[in-house]
Amino acid sequence: MKHKNIPLKERIIFALDVDSKEKAEKWVDCLGDHIKFYKVGLQLFLAGWFPAIKMITERGHKVMVDLKFFDVPETVKLAFRQLRHKNITFATVHGNDPILRAAVEERNGIKILAVTVLTSFGEEDMKEMGFAGTIEDLVFIRAKRALELGCNGVVSSGLEASRLRGDLGDNLLIVTPGIRPGKNIEIEEDDQVRIMTAQKAIINGADYVVVGRPISRAKDPVAVVKSMQNEIQKGLTAGN
């Protein structure tokens, strides 16, 4: 497997799951020497809106806007126009072909990541929603279609990354949430189902890993970051 030339400090995308720009700024100040990529999701976006994104990018870091755009295509187009000139690197979209096309048409330099299946979903959840196949099959079908439509990559658990990388090639970006440290850190009310370590995710083909609570709830967040980066480095060199 050919790994992309991504700096180690960008391999972890830290999830800024906080309720204010000020709290986000404290985390960026704390981790900024070690992590250069940050995720802004619904909570922070609604609390801090674009000032939070500006705060991150002005410090020289990258931003993944994880709003999972899902609406009629014209609305998605208009929403993506609001992301222009904000120095955003990734944005997530969750929808059918017309929704993905709308995002691709208006990306203006932003890399589009199609959400496949949330890592909080298990096989039982899929059955309850009426899906007959496996999660892996559904993730693959959605990822293949997203790539054909011009998306740059997908958000997928590490469990499906190996098949995606093997069948869809090296150009596809794979961003993997549901990451847990090699040394277990207990997380209360953990809603993630399809999880694995950063090292295993990278070995399976992930390019980036999204990590939130294992870092934010640790007694020594920087130590956890360094440990996970060590895991990632081992994953990158495995088999070379």
Distance CA 38, CA 64 (A): 6
Q: What band does 61 get if pLDDT is binned at 50, 70 and 90?
A: very high
The whole-number average pLDDT for the span 25-33 is 96
What is the amino acid identity at position 25?
A: E
Dihedral angle sign, alpha carbons of residues 52, 58, 61, 65? positive
Distance CA 134, CA 131 (A): 8
pLDDT at 190: 46
Would the pTM count as exceeding 0.85?
yes
pLDDT over 70, % of the chain: 87
Q: Which fold has domain 9-237?
A: TIM Barrel (3.20.20)
Sequence-ordered list of residues with C-beta below 8 angstroms from that of 158, at least 6 positions apart, any chain = 176, 178, 179, 194, 195, 196, 200, 201, 204, 206, 209
Q: What band does 19 get if pLDDT is binned at 50, 70 and 90?
A: very high
The whole-number average pLDDT for the span 36-62 is 92
Distance CA 10, CA 129 (A): 35
pLDDT per residue over 178-201, tens digit each?
898 765 444 444 445 567 899 999
Dihedral angle sign, alpha carbons of residues 227, 230, 235, 238? negative
pLDDT per residue over 150-173, tens digit each?
999 999 988 899 999 999 999 999
Identify each DSSP E strand in the chain by its residue range: 12-15, 37-41, 62-69, 90-93, 111-115, 153-155, 173-176, 208-211
Indicate the average pLDDT of the chain: 88
Residue numbers annotated as active site: 68
